[in-house]
């Protein structure tokens, strides 16, 4: 279980850049440091926002050990799940096989360094959970993700909210790593996008000493106009 209480074992990319120090080698070594780096539960904001959507083609960005992709596949989505770490992808594929052939067959696992190439598409859902990057890498990532969304599709970006920096719950990163949901939404062209959700959302989490704490996620869900 990672020390950051906000992650609750969910996959995240805090800091670094596409080509920077937190690249493939870093993540492979981090995954090898533990039998399971993240939990096997889907991120709660993904579940909250996607439940009830008609399934189609989904892109899971930074899929880690596969919990989100497996949850999406169980809901009937066809998932392209990408991550920079080959170790994570091996674990994710194994977890999908344990979930059954019907689930595993709906997921394509791809090693992808977003500094080298951008996602294909189009996708009916593009989800990025806790991909924390500094500028200008963050803006490049969000531009690429938005471009991968099909007309009528949804973009879901979830991150740690900057409001938690003051509480000491987060690692000491630059505040710029934690944009608010409205800030992320403001980068979308208003003539192409409808912002459905842009808020800081509280949720319970486990603190570094096992105590119950409240953390906040910045949740953006936008729909591309048809």
**Does residue 39 or residue 160 have the better pLDDT?**
160
Amino acid 215: pLDDT? 86
Residue bearing tokens 């459905």: 196
pLDDT of residue 134: 77
What are the residues whose beta carbons fall under 8 Å from the beta carbon of 216, sequence distance 6 or more?
A: 160, 161, 163, 164, 200, 201, 202, 203
Torsion of CA 158, 69, 26, 10, to 10 degrees: 50
Rounded to whole angstroms, the Cα distance separating 73 from 99 reads: 10
Express each pLDDT in 147-164 by its tens digit.
Answer: 999 999 999 999 888 777
pLDDT at 33 over 90: no
Q: Are 224 and 155 in contact (CB under 8 A)?
A: yes
Whether pLDDT at 168 is above 70:
no
CA atoms within 13 A on the CB side of 59: 26
C-alpha closest to that of 141 among 166, 111, 107, 116: 116
pLDDT at 19 over 50: no
The predicted model gives 41-68 an average pLDDT of: 96
Compute the mean pLDDT over every residue in the chain, rounded to the nearest whole number. Answer: 83
Number of H helices, E strands in the chain: 7, 9
Question: In the chain, how long is the greatest CA-to-CA distance?
Answer: 48
Whether residue 30 is predicted with pLDDT greater than 70 in this model: the reply is yes
Predicted local distance difference test score (pLDDT) of residue 157: 96
Distance CA 66, CA 41 (A): 9
Map residue 41 onto helix, strand or coil.
Answer: coil
Q: Which residue has the higher pLDDT, 116 or 10?
A: 116
Cα 81 → chain centroid: 10
Mean pLDDT: which of 53-57, 111-115, 116-120 is highest? 53-57
Please indicate whether residue 9 or residue 119 has the higher confidence score (pLDDT): 119
Rounded to a whole number, what is the distance in angstroms from the first to the last CA of the chain? Answer: 41
Mean pLDDT of 119-130: 92
3-12, 25-34, 183-192, 198-207, range with greatest mean pLDDT: 183-192
In this predicted structure, the answer to whether residue 141 has a pLDDT above a threshold of 70 is yes
When pLDDT is cut at 50, 70 and 90, the band that residue 177 belongs to is low
Domains parsed from the chain with CATH numbers: 13-224 (3.40.50.150)
- pTM of the full structure: 0.85
């Amino acid at each position: 279980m990672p020390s950051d209480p906000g992650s609750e074992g969910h996959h995240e990319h805090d800091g670094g850049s596409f080509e920077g120090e937190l690249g493939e080698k870093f993540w492979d070594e981090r995954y090898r440091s533990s039998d399971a780096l993240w939990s096997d539960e889907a991120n709660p904001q993904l579940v909250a926002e996607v439940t009830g959507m008609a399934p189609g083609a989904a892109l899971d960005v930074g899929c880690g050990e596969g919990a989100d992709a497996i949850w999406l596949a169980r809901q009937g989505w066809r998932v392209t799940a990408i991550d920079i770490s080959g170790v994570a992808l091996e674990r994710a594929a194994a977890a999908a096989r344990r979930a059954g052939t019907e689930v595993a067959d709906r997921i394509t696992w791809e090693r992808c360094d977003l500094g080298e190439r951008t996602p294909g598409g189009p996708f009916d859902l593009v989800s990025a959970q806790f991909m924390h990057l500094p500028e200008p890498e963050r803006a490049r990532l969000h531009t690429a993700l938005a471009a991968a969304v099909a007309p009528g599709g949804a973009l879901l970006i979830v991150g740690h909210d900057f409001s938690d920096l003051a509480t000491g719950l987060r690692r000491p990163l630059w505040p710029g790593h934690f944009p608010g949901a409205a800030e992320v939404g403001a980068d979308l062209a208003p003539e192409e996008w409808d912002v459905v959700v842009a808020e800081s959302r509280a949720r319970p989490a486990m603190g570094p000493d096992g105590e119950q704490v409240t953390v906040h996620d910045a949740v953006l869900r936008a729909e591309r106009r048809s």
